[in-house]
Amino acid sequence: MTEKEKMKAGLWYDANNDQELIDQRFICQDLCFALNQLKPSDERRNEVIENILGYFPDDLVLLSPFTADYGKNIKLGKNVFVNINNYFMDGATIEIGDNVFIGPSCGFYTANHPLDYTNRNQGLEKALPIKIGDNCWFGANVSVMPGVTIGAGCVIAAGAVVTKDMPANSLIAGVPAKVIKTIEQ
């Protein structure tokens, strides 16, 4: 298997020394840099976003600065709002549902590293998908960890670190995040 195939399969892969993955990250980083240099009113923004993602989502509002690793592994639903300074570490798929609002400085992290430093120092990582249901709201500075699914209708409080799956219609807060209460919808 290639390192990219291992990455897609959720296996340990070499992210730091594989030229194909390095090249793909540089392409995305260059596109994100270009996007972040454009004025908010510049109509070329949509073209750059389409080049980053490989498509242009319906009714997307994406504010700069914005950063992603590969871009093509990000799947955004309809009517998604992404505030400033968000980072999508998309070694695996990051799937965001419809009508999701993402506050400033949030991070969606699909990559994990080995606990033992011998393997970690070799550049190994494992990417696990993140899935966000429809109608969620993320406060500022929320971090979502690898492999997490968040059900529809959730509100994630500012500063939360979501390390495990969360049920639909939940108010989520804390480090690590936990369900505070069920939201009656």
By annotation, the residues acting in catalysis are 113
| Amino acid in position 135 | N
Q: Give the separation between CA 68 and CA 36, rounded to whole angstroms.
A: 12
What are the b/e assignments for 95-132, b being 16+ CB within 10 Å? bbbbbbbbbbbbbbbbbbbeeeeeeeeeebbbbbbbbb
Question: Looking at the DSSP assignment, which residues form a beta bridge with residue 137?
Answer: 101, 155
Strand (E) positions, the chain?
13-14, 61-62, 66-68, 74-76, 81-82, 86-89, 94-96, 101-102, 107-109, 111-112, 124-127, 130-132, 137-138, 143-144, 149-150, 155-156, 161-162, 170-174, 177-182
Sign of the torsion angle spanned by Cα atoms 113, 116, 119, 121: positive
